[in-house]
């Protein structure tokens, strides 16, 4: 009996200790966050202040991203993909190299643009000042913004002239760096690895389907598309290809990917004229590998 | 601390018991919040009043303009229906009521538990850029009418400047009474939106009433610039009226601009110009539907604006109104006008202020004044019918999420109209309102 009581006491003590540690860790985390409320953002001539954004964060953002910015708002359970966990300081849409923090302007642009294929709408009805304040508030959730500087923005060379050769070269790049493994031989997002992909929090994630005409997550222009595969989308399986693709080749890939989209474009028209069939080269690759 | 918390909770509970609301036909659809996973506060400064984000959503035809708009993306369990009702306690007090028993006048005060009408709302997208709104409203006796019924074609030819709405709809007032935050029965509405001079027979010039017609509305991509024009029956939104063979136009425009840390400001104008019959053909003494004739003109023009000073915002509306002498003297054309009759003309304005302490607590005041500048019949006291109205209150939303709306509302309103008591003196009334306002 005494032994049972002893065991019970030990278990109880352990549970209480764990609970207290969790509580104290939670309080410490919150306290650290509060200390970072002095965070600022700088976008052009605008200076955002985290303290000024508390009301708007509560009004617009907290339902999904949560009080603690951990992506665990009340709506999170209903949403797919899940809201971003700001405490990690990892962001998909950046102009900076992979693994580094985004510029303030990157976060500012994301808030204003929204993220297609997610529940994050465009918040551009908010004033520029309000969005700048929210950028500062988003940053205050992660200690990374205290200890690290943003990365260096990648350089995007001027877009070259579209030619048939470049379009074909783009298809070869698509084949060589094995874009098709995730995005599928024809870019429909149905590659052999597609079903197994997860994000950095081990949640299933689907590769982009170039044929459904949706906007890219991180912008709509050719430059945005170039930037996406040179910076990668941190937190997702989409890596940065900046070490594997030369700038010229990256532009070739942009041209090719544009030709896959359903919208009318110069690239699509040229592909039709030269008889470039999506997936023709890629389809041969798996067989050749086998 | 616990004791203080308990006292606070008890206070809220007790206050809640006495809370009362009179329902307005406000449009706030938690169904949208459920669809998009956004809190009420994303679209509403304090529901049902829209903020800039909500206004843009509405102007885009209930679309966020992303891939979550189209019905195909909606969860099978999504049901775009909202109900709103307001159980309440209220106290109404009116001065100078003629009383038979005493043969004189006295103040009558009544109070008790009550319920406002029920609003049944449905709205959303039928397809990309095709939206609808349906609002069925009842009075406290569950007598229903169609408050809004319209279909809207949005972004025609891919342009945000081409949106067309047909049916019964709220006029494009950027300061919307339907989305107002004041609810009391006496003075809770915007007097300026429903003003009719004493002795005037024109009831169709009320810019606060929903109308049957067609509206074109255009806006810039960021919704900072808005412009609209509508044409509708001169029937004050009623159906089968004898004098419905006439039309009224309503035109509105506004421009928003950012003012640094103060926030986004908006200034605009509106103009309502129309004509309506002053007479009607009858059959067996009953008006014949569509038999109206003797059309005369009326107009309402003014400026409006929404100004932010951080947590404080001001909604300002001015109006210059004019009714033809036939309306002003309630004369059926072509009968002869009383000697010296002329148009009834007035000016008015109101300022409604909100202090948004946080998205869950807002304090409200509105001050409103209407002054006759010209009586239709010479010799009439110049201030007959002038109105002063003051409203104060707060609205507290103890819970706020993306599934439903719930608010505790407390309000006091006082209104006085010059010279309209039975003895020709001023008539004043007041209203206290405590209630639950909820919709789902």
pLDDT digits (tens, 9 = 90+) for A138-176: 999 999 999 999 999 999 999 999 999 999 999 999 999
**Contact at CB, A63 and B38, closer than 8 angstroms:** yes
Chain B residue numbers with beta carbons less than 8 Å from the beta carbon of A114 are 64, 66
| Structural domain includes residue B261 | yes
Quick check: B53 and A116 CB within 8 A? no
Residue A36 reports pLDDT greater than 90: no
- Note the pLDDT of residue A18: 57
Q: Is residue A9 part of a domain?
A: no
Say if B100 falls within a structural domain.
Answer: yes
Query: For each of chain B's 440 residues, which pLDDT tens digit applies?
Result: 444 444 434 443 333 333 333 334 456 677 788 888 888 899 999 888 999 999 999 999 999 988 888 775 566 667 788 888 888 899 999 988 889 888 888 899 999 998 878 889 988 888 889 999 999 998 878 889 999 999 999 999 999 999 999 999 999 999 999 999 998 878 889 999 999 999 999 999 999 999 999 999 999 999 999 999 999 999 999 876 666 679 999 999 999 999 988 999 999 999 999 999 999 999 998 888 888 899 999 999 999 999 999 899 999 999 999 999 999 999 999 999 999 999 999 999 999 999 999 889 999 999 999 999 999 999 999 999 999 999 999 999 998 877 778 899 999 999 999 999 988 999 999 999 999 988 87
Rounded CA separation A205/A194 (Å) = 8
Average pLDDT for residues A128-141, to the nearest whole number? 97
| Nearest CB to A117 within list B37, B42, B67 | B67
> Which residue in B40, B62, B66 has the most chain A C-beta atoms within 10 A of its own C-beta, making it the best mutation to test that interface?
B66
- Residues A101, A192 within the same domain: no
Q: How many CB atoms lie within 10 A of CB B285?
A: 5
Can you give B303-332 as a three-state secondary structure string?
EEEEEEECCEEEEEEEEEEEECHHHHCCCC
Residue B13 pLDDT: 36
CATH (domain of A198): 1.10.760.10
Separation in Å, CA of A100 to nearest CA in chain B: 28
Tracing tokens 């229903």 back to the chain, one arrives at B144
The pLDDT, as a whole number, for residue A271 is 94
Tell whether the torsion through CA atoms of B296, B389, B309 and A51 is positive or negative.
negative
Which of A147, A172, A198 represents a domain boundary (last residue)?
A147
Domain match, A77 and A172 both: no
Question: Which residues in chain A are closer than 8 Å to B260, comparing Cβ atoms?
Answer: 129
Shortest distance between the Cα of B169 and any Cα of chain A, in A, equals 24
The CA-atom distances, in angstroms, between B38 and each of A280, B3, B20, B32, B197 are: 44, 35, 27, 8, 44
Would you say residue A57 lies in a domain? yes
Classify residue A134: in a domain, yes or no: yes
Domain closes at, from A89, A118, A147: A147
Helix (H, G, I), strand (E, B) or coil at A27: helix
Nearest CA in chain B to A74: B401
Cβ atoms of residues B57 and B64 within 8 Å: yes
A51/A100 same-domain check: yes
Residue B288, in any domain of the structure: yes
Do residue A82 and residue A119 come from a single domain? yes
Question: Using CB atoms, which residue from A55, A64, A74 is nearest to B359?
Answer: A55
Residue B406 pLDDT: 87
Q: Given a cut of 60, is residue A23 above it in pLDDT? A: no
Average pLDDT, chain A: 88
* Residue B113 dihedral angles phi and psi, to the nearest 5°: -80, 150
Q: What is the least distance, in Å, from the CA of A123 to any CA of chain B? A: 7
- If pLDDT is split at 50, 70 and 90, which confidence band does A215 have? confident
A126 and A210 housed in the same domain = no
pLDDT at A281 over 90: no
Within a domain: B78? no
How many Å is the maximal CA-CA distance in chain B?
76
Q: Which of B39, B51, B67 sits opposite A116 (nearest CB)?
A: B67
Other CB atoms within 10 A of residue B65 CB: 19
- Considering the domain architecture, whether residues A52 and A138 belong to the same structural domain is answered as yes
**Quick one: tokens of A159?**
């877009």
H or E element, residue A256: helix A247-260
Look at residue B75 in the predicted model and tell me its pLDDT. 66
Kindly report the number of other CB atoms within 10 A of residue A17's CB atom: 10
Cβ distance A129 to B38 less than 8 Å, yes or no, reads no
Same structural domain, A131 and A175: no
Whether B64 sits inside 8 A of A129 (CB atoms) is: no
* pTM summary value: 0.85
More confident residue, A13 or B294: B294
Do A125 and A67 lie in one domain? The reply is yes
CA atoms within 13 Å, Cβ hemisphere of B428: 8
Q: For the domain that residue B106 is a member of, what is the CATH number? A: 2.40.160
Claim to verify: residue A270 and residue A189 sit in the same structural domain: yes
Q: Compute the 3-state secondary structure of chain B and give helix, strand, coil in percent, each to the nearest 5.
A: 10, 50, 40
- What domain count does chain B have? 1
Is the Cβ pair B38, A117 closer than 8 Å?
no
Residue contact B356–A125, C-beta within 8 A? no
Whether A74 and B402 lie within 8 Å, measured CB to CB: yes
Q: What is the C-alpha to C-alpha distance for residues B86 and B371, in angstroms, rounded to an integer?
A: 33
Q: Are residues A244 and A199 in the same domain?
A: yes
CATH number for the domain including A79?
1.10.760
Q: Quick one: pLDDT band at residue A22, thresholds 50, 70, 90?
A: low
Domain hosting residue A55, numbered range? 39-147
- Residue A1 lies inside a defined structural domain of this protein: no
Domain count, chain A: 2
Q: Please report the number of interchain residue pairs, chain A to chain B, with beta-carbon separation below 8 angstroms.
A: 73
Domain co-membership, A137 together with A65: yes
Among A120, A147, A174, residue at a domain's last position? A147
Cβ contacts (< 8 Å) between B47 and chain A: which residues?
Answer: none
* Window 262-291 of B, Cβ < 8 Å to A: 263-264
| Residue B419 at interface with chain A, using a CB cutoff of 8 Å | no
Is residue B108 within 8 Å of B93, Cβ to Cβ?
A: yes
Q: In which domain, by residue range, is B12 found?
A: 2-23+86-112+177-439
Residue holding tokens 């997550």?
A217
């Amino acid at each position: 009996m005494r032994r049972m009581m002893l065991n019970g006491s030990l278990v109880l003590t352990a549970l209480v200790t764990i609970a207290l540690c969790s509580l104290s860790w939670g309080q410490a985390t919150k306290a650290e966050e509060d200390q970072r409320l002095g965070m600022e953002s700088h976008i052009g001539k605008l200076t955002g202040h985290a303290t000024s954004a508390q009301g708007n964060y509560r009004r617009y953002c907290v339902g999904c991203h949560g009080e603690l910015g951990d992506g665990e708002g009340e709506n999170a359970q209903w949403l797919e993909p899940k809201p971003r966990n700001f405490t990690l300081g990892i962001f998909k849409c950046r102009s900076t190299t992979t693994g580094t923090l985004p510029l303030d302007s990157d976060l500012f642009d994301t808030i204003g643009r929204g993220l297609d294929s997610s529940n994050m709408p465009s918040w551009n009805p908010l004033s520029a000042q309000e969005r700048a304040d929210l950028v500062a508030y988003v940053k205050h959730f992660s200690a990374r913004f205290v200890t690290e500087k943003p990365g260096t923005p990648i350089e995007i060379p001027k877009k070259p002239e579209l030619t048939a050769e470049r379009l074909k070269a783009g298809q070869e790049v698509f084949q060589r760096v094995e874009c098709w493994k995730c995005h599928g031989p024809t870019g429909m997002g149905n590659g052999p690895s597609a079903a197994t992909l997860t994000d950095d929090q081990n949640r299933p994630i689907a590769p982009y389907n170039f044929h459904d005409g949706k906007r890219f997550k991180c912008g709509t222009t050719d430059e945005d598309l170039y930037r996406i595969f040179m910076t990668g989308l941190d937190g997702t399986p989409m890596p940065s290809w900046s070490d594997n693709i030369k700038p010229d080749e990256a532009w070739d890939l942009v041209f090719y990917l544009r030709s896959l989209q359903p919208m009318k474009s110069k690239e699509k028209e040229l592909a039709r004229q030269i008889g470039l069939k999506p997936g023709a080269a890629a389809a041969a690759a798996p067989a050749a590998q086998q | 601390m616990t004791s203080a918390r308990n006292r606070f909770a008890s206070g809220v509970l007790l206050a809640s018991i006495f809370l009362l609301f009179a329902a307005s036909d406000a449009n706030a659809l938690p169904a949208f919040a459920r669809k998009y996973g956004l809190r009420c506060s994303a679209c509403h400064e304090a529901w049902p009043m829209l903020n800039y984000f909500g206004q843009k959503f509405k102007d885009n035809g209930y679309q966020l303009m992303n891939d979550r708009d189209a019905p195909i993306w909606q969860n099978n369990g999504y049901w775009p229906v909202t109900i709103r009702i307001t159980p309440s306690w209220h106290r109404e007090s009116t001065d100078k009521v003629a009383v038979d028993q005493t043969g004189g006048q006295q103040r009558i005060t009544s109070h008790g538990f009550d319920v406002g009408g029920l609003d049944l709302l449905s709205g959303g997208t039928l397809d990309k850029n095709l939206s609808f709104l349906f609002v069925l409203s009842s009075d406290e006796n569950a007598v229903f009418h169609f408050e809004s019924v319209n279909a809207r074609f949005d972004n025609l030819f891919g342009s945000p400047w081409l949106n067309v709405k047909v049916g019964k709809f709220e006029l494009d007032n950027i300061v919307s009474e339907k989305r107002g935050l004041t609810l009391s029965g006496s003075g809770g509405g915007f007097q300026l939106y429903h003003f009719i001079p004493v002795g005037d027979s024109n009831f169709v010039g009320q810019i606060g009433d929903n109308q049957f017609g067609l509206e074109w509305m255009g806006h810039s991509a960021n919704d900072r610039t808005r412009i609209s024009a509508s044409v509708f029956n001169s029937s004050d939104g009623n159906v089968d009226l004898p004098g419905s063979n006439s039309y009224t136009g309503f035109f509105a425009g506004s421009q928003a601009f950012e003012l640094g840390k103060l926030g986004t400001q908006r200034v605009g104008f509106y103009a309502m110009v129309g004509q309506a019959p002053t007479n009607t053909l009858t059959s067996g003494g009953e008006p014949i539907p569509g038999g109206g004739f003797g059309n005369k003109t009326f107009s309402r023009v003014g400026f409006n604006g929404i100004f932010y000073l951080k947590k404080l915002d001001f909604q300002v509306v001015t109006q210059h109104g004019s009714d033809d002498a036939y309306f002003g003297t309630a004369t059926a054309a072509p009968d002869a006008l009383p000697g010296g009759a002329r148009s009834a003309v007035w000016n008015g304005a109101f300022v409604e202020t909100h202090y948004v302490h946080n998205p869950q607590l807002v304090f409200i005041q509105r001050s409103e004044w209407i002054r006759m500048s010209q009586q239709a019949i010479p010799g009439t006291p110049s201030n007959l019918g002038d109105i002063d109205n003051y409203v104060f209150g707060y609205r507290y939303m103890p819970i706020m999420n993306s599934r439903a709306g719930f608010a505790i509302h407390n309000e006091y309103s006082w209104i006085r109209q010059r010279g309209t008591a039975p003895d020709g003196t001023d008539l004043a009334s007041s209203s206290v309102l405590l209630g639950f306002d909820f919709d789902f």
